[in-house]
Chains A and B, each alone.
Chain A
Amino acid sequence: MTATVEQICTLLEPFNSNGTTLSARTDISSDLNIDSVTVMDFVMEVEDHFDIEIPLNLLSETRTIGDLAQVVEARTKKG
């Protein structure tokens, strides 16, 4: 597990109410059974933790924790 994935997993814990085991392959919405608004709330936490911008437009193609980690890494490098 990369450092980014690990940090994302920690940020995701408060939203993980059914105690799913988290990994890079976890589908954030369907595996955790959380709705679209909650996904956006979670992404806002990720934005603030890494001090980056993750536009909503990217979310439709960001399904797993691994996908999100890639977005985070690409955007942290840029800044």
Chain B
Amino acid sequence: MDLLAKLQGIADRHQRMMSMGVNAIGITNDRIISPTRAMIEGRETILAGTNNYMGITFDPDCIEAGKRALEEFGTGTTGSRIANGSFSLHVELEQEFARFLDRKHCIVFTTGYQANLGMMSGLAGPRDTIYLDADSHSSIYDGCTLSGAKLVRFRHNDAADLDRRLTRGEGDEGGKLVVLEGIYSMMGDRAPLADFVEVKKKHGFQLLCDEAHSFGVLGPHGRGLADEAGLEDDVDFVVGTFSKSVGAIGGFGAGNHPLFEYLRYAMRPYMFTASSSPASIATSLAAIRKLAAEPQRRTRLRDNSARLFHGFRQLGLDLGCDQVSPVIAVKCKDEPSTIAMWNALLRSGVYVNIALPPGTPNKLCLLRCSVSAAHSDADIDRIIELFGTVVAQGHGQTAANV
């Protein structure tokens, strides 16, 4: 039997998408002009789906730091962190992140995806249980699978449901890890952290919060949801990524546990891959210093997010959550109309993400926007105007072939 025969269903679904316009799940940016502009299909396009929350990707100091690292350390590390791939840059970045996060220890990974693979599999083993939120990112699911731990899924953002499931598992031996996210990537909603901390007091488990979308964004120090909620002491482990607010690529895990550093020798996704390239580490280092020194970026992001959120509300759009968030998802009727509207938006000069099941919760079809501190008021207003014509008035729902 042909191994690839099972991809026929995907091929058919992709063909249907292509017959309605361009490849919505593999669009090519021909040139990136700025954190909020690219040339796509020959048009200058407003980018409103890049997770570039701090708009830091073209910061002159970050670019300069990257260039210097290329010259001083070369193009790649050609090795893993436990062999020849630890440069002074990696160590410096870990120290800088630990300082920013106000945690004793920080370990840097080559990608954010690997940070979750590494942390889940390093923290939990076959005798342990991981309780994960139903809407967790795929990297969390995959890390959980890699760990070999017993996996129990609880209802999204439902602390009472977690409580019930922990009660069912009361007789279990082994450790218990509960995994939450600061901001959920598809719907933009936050975990109700205080409720989960109450459950933690009752049952006693170790708590990990993935701040991928909230790091740099939430809290008085930009450390994420736990910072915003004032509950950092109750969160044992933090995971995050460099590919959003930090504008590079890589990820981190951090915590205060006295044995934390030894995770380095227990996480296969950390041990058996080459470390991040010098340029990426150097730009991350410059970026984290910027984020610490320039809290106005967070304020600007919050203002921009509020402007888009309220604009969409006024249009009567059905949104992913009822709280201002840099992730603003618009719920759509079905897959064909979502694809058509996505194409109409792109042709009008705005790129957003299309998100379809099973990549979304509850089989939703979404046009997902992410806001940047680098968006101007005029950018946000243009996005609102286009969603008004294409989505709210329905002009883009069937007009994709025109």
Contact = CB atoms under 8 A, between A and B. Distances in A.
B357 A52 contact: no
A57 B150 contact: yes
Contacts of A56: 144, 151-153
Given A38-B363, A52-B168, A53-B169, A44 B153 contact: yes
Contacts of A36: 358
Contacts of B357: 35, 37-38
Given A40-B134, A40-B153, A44-B153, A53 B168 contact: yes
B43 interface: no
Given A35-B357, A37-B358, A55 B134 contact: no
Interface string B148-171: 001111010000000001001100
Contacts of A51: 168
Contacts of A37: 357-358, 361
Interface in A37-79: 37-38, 40-41, 44, 51-53, 55-57
Nearest to B132: A56
Nearest to A36: B358
A17 to B, nearest CB: 10
Main secondary structure of the interface of B (DSSP, over half): mixed
Interface string B353-387: 00001100111000000000000000000000000
A41 B150 contact: no
Given A35-B357, A40-B134, A44-B134, A53 B153 contact: no
Contact of A38 (B150, B153, B165, B358): B358
A53 B153 CA distance: 10
A53 B152 contact: yes
A41 B168 contact: no
A34 B185 CA distance: 23
A41 B151 contact: no
Nearest to B359: A37
A53 B129 CA distance: 12
Interface in B328-374: 357-358, 361-363
A60 to B, nearest CB: 9
Contacts of B362: 41
Contacts of A41: 134, 362
A52 B165 CA distance: 9
Nearest to A54: B152
A57 B358 contact: no
Contact of B151 (A35, A44, A52, A55): A55
Given A38-B363, A41-B134, A44-B134, A55 B152 contact: yes
A55 to B, nearest CB: 5
A51 B167 CA distance: 11
Contacts of A52: 168
Contacts of B151: 55-57
Contacts of A35: 357-358
A41 B129 CA distance: 19
Given A35-B358, A53-B165, A56-B152, 17 more contacts: A35-B357, A36-B358, A37-B357, A37-B358, A37-B361, A38-B357, A38-B358, A41-B362, A44-B134, A51-B168, A52-B168, A53-B168, A55-B129, A55-B150, A55-B151, A57-B150, A57-B151
Closest 6 CB pairs of A and B: A35-B358, A56-B151, A37-B358, A55-B150, A53-B168, A55-B151
27 contacts: A35-B358, A36-B358, A37-B357, A37-B358, A37-B361, A38-B357, A38-B358, A38-B363, A40-B134, A40-B153, A41-B134, A44-B153, A44-B155, A51-B168, A52-B168, A53-B152, A53-B168, A53-B169, A55-B129, A55-B150, A55-B151, A55-B152, A56-B144, A56-B151, A56-B152, A57-B150, A57-B151
